[in-house]
Amino acid sequence: MLTFDKIRDVERMERNEKKLQKLPADFIQDLRDYINRKRVDKGEDPF
* 46 has pLDDT over 70: no
Instruction: State pLDDT tens for residues 1-25.
Output: 888 899 899 999 999 998 888 888 9
Quote the pTM value.
0.63
What are the extents of the domains in the chain?
4-42
Helix, coil or strand: residue 4: helix
* pLDDT in the model for residue 19: 86
The residues near 39 (Cβ < 8 Å, ≥ 6 apart) are 45, 46
Closest CA to 24 of 7, 36, 5, 12: 7
* 28 has pLDDT over 60: yes
